[in-house]
Chains A and B, each alone.
Chain A
Amino acid sequence: MAAPAVKQDGLHDCRDAWARTIEDLAAQDPRIVVVVNDSVGSSKLGGFQKKHADRLINVGIAEQNMVGVSAGLANGGRIPFVSAASCFLTGRALEQVKADVAYANFNVKLVGQSSGVAYGELGPTHHSIEDFAWLRPLNNISIVVPADAWETAEAVKWAASHEGPVYIRLSRMPVPDLEVADRKFAHGKAELVRDGSDVTLIACGTMVHLAAKAAADLEAEGISARVLNMGTITPLDEAAIASAAHETGAIVTIEEANIHGGLGGAVAEYTASSEPVPVERMGFPGFVPTGSVEWLFDHFGLTAEGIARTARKAIGRKRA
């Protein structure tokens, strides 16, 4: 059996990588500013605040203003990173994200913290599982979903160098480092975590690790599962999906998000019109009941076992 693609020791909160990286970038580039909604602590920006106090713009609990201000900062030649809980950043300020950032096409970086169901028991008001569906139809804005600390740092560096709107979706849940040889950050490209020929598991963010574990488990029973880390949802790596459909004949998507309109929706839209193969979408069907993150993952089958089970189902749907 091949070694699992996930290191078993050492978990990291990706917010630490975000905070370190933005501090370093700000030291190098005076145009970088961070805009927050009383979210200094939850964005781990205490260090940034100490080092670059004048470049931390805290508008208070006012998300519409926060996003509008960021568009104005971009107009004034700054490179704003807006850092806030993703539920409020994308939900409360959605019209500002649409009109002021995406439609106006300003060089604004939105960093959604504590996304998915990271707030667990706090409930659906604080979950951010609709964000992909809200932002995917908006032109100009790229959606980037790092899976671990390394990818988070690379995504933030890439966003700073890219001219145009970006949404980086981070979690607060500790995750291991993905173990992939010779990693190079390639925006818009799926990362091959593990090759396989019977089914492809396409995951993003926190779910990539579970998909890798599921693939290792499936190998023990003779099923060869490919695992793709779809770290960019917009623009979508259609070539990687086409290859997966063509070469493995079945796809499972796994995201810590609503199954309507997110990664699974994007993959299903593409395959339905270009490479029709069975696609099983894993995630949340809508508002979730009360429960811890771990309980919610387990309840909705977002575990290595659940993913393996769904992979077998997808394989079973292949036409003879």
Chain B
Amino acid sequence: MSTNDIAQTIREKALWMRRRAFTMVFDARLGHPGGDFSAIDIIATLYFGVMRYDPKKPEMAERDRFIMSKGHATGALYTGLCAAGYFPEDWLNTYMQPQSKLNGHPNRNYLPGVETNTGPLGHGVPVALGIAIAGQLTNADYRTFVLTGDGELQEGSNWEAAMTAGNRKLGKLTLIVDRNRLQQGMGTEETNGLDPLDDKFRAFGWDVEMVDGHDVDALLTALSEPAGGRTKPLCIIANTIKGKGVSFMENIASWHHGVPNAEQHTTALEELI
């Protein structure tokens, strides 16, 4: 497949993920659609343009790993795993229903393809770091990707892990920050500011790339592994829009865990084409 074809496939998958995730939230009357939509292009790019995996062998030792540290954005994660072939589409209909495998936050013991249980913020980066260290110890070829929210970086555990990753020169570790600049109540910068975020990661010994987190071509370039690999962990600061793709959701903090009414649901599906 040409790069153009790959990018087109990713865009189609992302569109499907947005439509499906929004309906899941509508049906469940629960969810985090704002953060789902800022992350979906990143997740679609990973699963359909970057990562090596076999959904029939979710425990394969050499698989690339994806850790969803912003575990509340399960609309994005579950539609991505489903599209990647880890489980049948009708499972999505059970989202957050009693006894569902699709809990409000992901559980690796319920669903194939989930690498670790997340939900409390600041847990994904240390776990991803451990996976990358295991790869370093065994000279494994797999890559480890972890996606955090930006507000999530206010948790100190991320910086404990960032320090260790920089010191250990873990070139196979990639952190993507979903930089939508909104946390659940208000902006990140008016809550406990993160800027200059790129300088922070550079100071911790990371390579840093800044991209438009909705530009699939830019994401593919940033996520590709250079010939010879990297000698430092990579932080991709993906500038995104919370609620991206639906006019009335974009950049509105209350859509963090907003639930659409029937009219909003219809309008959104009309826009997502």
| Across-interface contacts of B120 in A (CB, < 8 A) | 95, 99
Smallest distance from the beta carbon of B272 to chain A beta carbons, Å? 33
Q: Which of A8-16, A51-59, A251-259 contacts B (4 or more CB under 8 A)?
A: A51-59
In the assembly, what is the distance between CA of A271 and CA of B66, in Å? 46
Q: Does A96 contact B (CB under 8 A)?
A: yes
Interface size bracket, B side:
20 to 34
Whether A133 sits at the interface, judged by CB under 8 Å, is no
Could you say which of A60-68, A121-129, A174-182, A226-234 contacts chain B?
A60-68
Most chain A beta carbons < 10 A, residue from B126, B128, B164: B126
A69 to B128, CA, bound (A): 7
A104-B137 in contact given A65-B129, A68-B129, A72-B132 (Cβ < 8 Å): no
- In the bound assembly, the distance between CA atoms of A71 and B108 in angstroms comes to 12
The smallest beta-carbon distance between B141 and chain A, in angstroms, is: 12
Chain A residue contacts of B94, Cβ below 8 A: none
Q: Which of B127-181 contact A (CB under 8 A)?
A: 127-135, 137-138, 140, 156-157, 160-161, 163-164
Query: Contacts A59-B160, A60-B163, A104-B117: A72 and B130 contacting too (C-beta < 8 A)?
Result: yes
Q: A57-B133, A99-B117, A100-B117 are in contact. Are A72 and B128 (CB under 8 A)?
A: yes
CB-defined contacts of A153 to chain B, threshold 8 Å: none
Q: Is the interface of B mostly helix, strand, loop or mixed?
A: helix
Q: Smallest CB–CB gap between B63 and chain A, Å?
A: 10
Decide if A64 touches B126 in the complex (CB within 8 Å): yes
**Cα separation A210 to B82 with both chains bound (whole Å):** 58
Contact A65 B135 (CB under 8 A): no
Bound-complex Cα distance A67 to B137 (A): 18
CA distance A209 to B129 in the complex (A): 42
CB distance A69 to B130 under 8 Å?
Answer: yes
A-B contacts, 14 of them at CB < 8 A, read A62-B163, A62-B164, A65-B164, A68-B127, A69-B130, A69-B164, A71-B116, A71-B126, A72-B134, A76-B130, A80-B130, A100-B123, A100-B127, A104-B108
- Residues in chain A within 8 A of chain B (CB atoms): 33, 54-55, 57, 59-60, 62, 64-65, 67-78, 80, 95-96, 99-100, 103-106
- Nearest 3 CB-CB pairings of A with B: A72-B130, A76-B134, A68-B126
